A and B are shown apart, each in its own frame.
Chain A
Amino acid sequence: MFSSFRQTMAWLHTWFGLILGFVLMVAFFFGTLSVFDREIDRWAIPETRFEPQTMPSFDHILLPVLRQVEPDQKEYERQMPWLHDFGQGPMTPRLELPVDEYWAYTTHRDPVLVMGVGFGVPHPRDPAAHNHIHGDVTIDPRSGVLVPDDALKIGSRWFYPMHYSLNWTWKYLGYWIVGLAGFFMLVALVTGVIIHRKLFREFFTFRPGHQILRSTLDLHNLTGVVALPFHFFFAFTGLLIFAGWLYFPVGNTLLKPLHDLEHQREALEIGLPYERSGHPAPLASVDAMMAEAQRRWDARGMPGDVGFLVVRHVGDVNGYVSLYRAGSDRVALVGEGIHFKASTGEVLREDPPRTVVSEIHDFLVGLHLQHFEHWFLRWLYVLGGLLGCTCIATGFVFFVEKRKRKHAEAGGQGSRLVDALAVTTVTGMVIAAIGMLVVNRILPSDLIGKGDWEKGRLGTYPAACPVAQCPGNGGTDQSCLEGTVSGDRGTGGGCSAAELGYHRRPSAQDRAH
């Protein structure tokens, strides 16, 4: 089919890059925004614009709030009929579900604290499964006052999941699409390096003065090559994060019996109770346990604050409290978990040093998830993300520029279609994200279901994008993207793509260009 290996690779790079480039663009753009997801949350919810806080007192601030938390109504209605065994009688009413688990989570960037309660299902269909109905809340850790949870955390609950799931949760379809795109990103990087004839000789090459095809390709190569390690490792580690539980979930399918057995064996071996005993017991001071954990981390030369706290089997003799260190000075999220008996506060176990395999895994996952405290590196990641966006966008421009004249002369619509899709994806997405943040500031903060209003708008923002006004047929010679990004070519600058004469046939001057 192709005369050379390089041509084969070029075909692969062009077509898979084109098709999955649209998804990759979304992943890169929202991934870039996600570097500052918590900070965008602050934009969206101005009441929470105060200094990040460390984990507050559990005994005095968290526990009183946790005791008030109710199981989520929607989750109860959706999950309870699945989890409950109707052979043992009717469903336990929502407000009578017993508390089984408390958790709280914070990072060095969070002023507010998310926490929640896992409620047990008294008569579960599958006793071995994770039978929980949840109730989550967000509080101001300084006072324990609830922050309304229906105010959408645009950064961490919308832009961030958009990055890896397109916010398309039905059958995890979005995760799969992004995963596929991530895989082909690796392919695109490898094929890109193969078809790039002068990787080192043109390492610093960008010739903006040359014709558009040349300078676009320069920019595509430049942004791809200088950040090649970034692109490669982020695609790879992104896949790695989801490989274990979504893409290759052998632990829940093929090897499930082994997996469950291992869990029980592990619980026995490490001495942390796997199940409730049925005998009630009080909860000792968790604050004292937090102080002890910090003392032990200090002694190991890894001082730090508590980032994640879980109380399992609440109110039972078997109850225990697990404390994990917040990510800070290491790339890997080094939890260094310490587990205490809930009723007495004695240390049951300290997690052992990690194996080499898990250290490598934690490093790779950690470099993508960025729990660490390093503002400079965060900004460098933003740069890497924007370089990726530029690389993809210039890929689109190159695709269109290379073919548009031929297509126009043949009366084909191919490059027009790609052009339109590229503009809606690239420009539309930027407009949508900005629009969402603007709408967030315009809508009154006490509007009921404000978050849903904001989400609802996201899909309509790209309609404001100029491409929506580019109907019609016939050949086009001026790409939408140029029209919006550099609207100065040939028409005196600054006008929208719609004004750029979409019905114009290629002129003699353009052909000569």
Chain B
Amino acid sequence: MVDAAAIYLMGATLAALLGFAWLALAMEVHWRQVFGRVGPSPGTRSALRLLGGASLLGSLGLCLLADHASMAALVWFMLLALAGVCVALLLAWRSAWLRRLWPG
């Protein structure tokens, strides 16, 4: 039981990170930071937004699987903070790492 919760939470963390990373890639300025060219195209942008949003929701779902709902809500909001900072710092110092998240 404990192990299952730990795995769900790891998944939730990863999903939150991916979600914010995709949402960041959907923004022109960050796309340029990562890929070094203009973009993303409107179609790509919608896809990235959809993927990012779904991933954040997936993160919430995994939190709910791991804990009682009241606790899961807190964990999720705090994970968003963690993921937000991580993505911002990655974009600032290691933006190339995010290239793998999209075949662009």
Contacts and interface: CB of A to CB of B under 8 A. Distances in A.
A381 B78 contact: yes
B75 A377 contact: yes
In the complex, which range does the number of interface residues on chain B fall in?
20 to 34
Contact of B71 (A206, A223, A329, A381): A329
A230 B71 contact: no
Interface stretch (B35-43, B54-62, B86-94): B86-94
Interface string B49-84: 000000000000000000110110011011111101
Contact of A383 (B24, B71, B74, B78): B78
Contacts of B75: 374, 376-377, 380
Interface stretch (A98-106, A154-162, A197-205, A480-488): A197-205
Interface residues of A, number: 29
Interface in A348-401: 363, 367, 372, 374, 376-377, 380-381, 383-384, 387
B79 A331 contact: no
Given A223-B85, A387-B85, A377 B92 contact: no
A372 B82 contact: no
A230 B78 contact: yes
19 contacts: A204-B20, A204-B84, A204-B87, A205-B88, A222-B84, A223-B85, A226-B81, A226-B85, A226-B88, A229-B77, A229-B81, A230-B77, A332-B70, A374-B75, A380-B78, A380-B82, A383-B78, A383-B82, A387-B85
B79 A380 contact: yes
A201 B28 CA distance: 10
Contacts of A223: 85
Given A204-B84, A226-B88, A374 B71 contact: yes
Contacts of A377: 71, 74-75, 78
Nearest to B80: A226
Instruction: Name, among B29, B74, B75, the residue most crowded by chain A CB atoms within 10 Å (CB to CB).
Output: B74
Interface of B is mostly: helix
Contacts of A222: 84-85, 88
A383 B91 CA distance: 19
Contacts of A229: 77, 80-81
B37 to A, nearest CB: 19
Given A203-B84, A207-B92, A380-B82, A331 B70 contact: yes
A201 B27 contact: yes
Nearest to A209: B92
B81 A383 contact: yes
Contacts of B74: 331, 367, 377
A384 B81 contact: yes
B9 interface: yes
A380 B81 contact: yes
Interface string A279-310: 00000000000000000000000000000000
B74 to A, nearest CB: 6
Instruction: Name, among A203, A230, A367, A387, the residue most crowded by chain B CB atoms within 10 Å (CB to CB).
Output: A203
A332 B87 CA distance: 32
Contacts, number: 78
A384 B87 CA distance: 16
Nearest to A200: B27
Interface string B21-33: 0001001011000
A507 to B, nearest CB: 29
A203 B80 CA distance: 12
Given A331-B71, A374-B67, A374-B71, A204 B24 contact: yes
Given A230-B81, A377-B78, A206 B91 contact: yes
Nearest to B70: A331
Instruction: Name, among B30, B75, B88, the residue most crowded by chain A CB atoms within 10 Å (CB to CB).
Output: B88
B67 A387 contact: no
A377 B71 CA distance: 9
A206 B92 contact: yes
A297 to B, nearest CB: 15
A204 B70 contact: no
A125 interface: no
A208 interface: yes
A391 B33 CA distance: 25
A203 B56 CA distance: 16
Contacts of B78: 227, 230, 377, 380-381, 383-384
A229 B93 CA distance: 26
Instruction: Name, among B27, B92, B93, the residue most crowded by chain A CB atoms within 10 Å (CB to CB).
Output: B92
A196 B74 CA distance: 25
A374 B63 CA distance: 12
A109 interface: no
A330 interface: yes
A329 B71 CA distance: 8
B81 A206 contact: no
A358 B77 CA distance: 23
Contacts of B71: 329-331, 372, 374, 377
B19 to A, nearest CB: 12
Given A206-B88, A380-B81, 19 more contacts: A203-B24, A203-B84, A203-B88, A204-B27, A204-B87, A204-B91, A205-B91, A206-B89, A229-B77, A230-B78, A329-B71, A330-B70, A331-B74, A332-B70, A377-B71, A377-B75, A383-B78, A384-B81, A387-B81
A207 B33 CA distance: 11
7 smallest beta-carbon distances between A and B, as pairs: A226-B84, A380-B78, A227-B81, A331-B70, A204-B88, A206-B92, A204-B24
Contacts of A329: 67-68, 71
Interface string A434-476: 0000000000000000000000000000000000000000000
Nearest to A359: B70
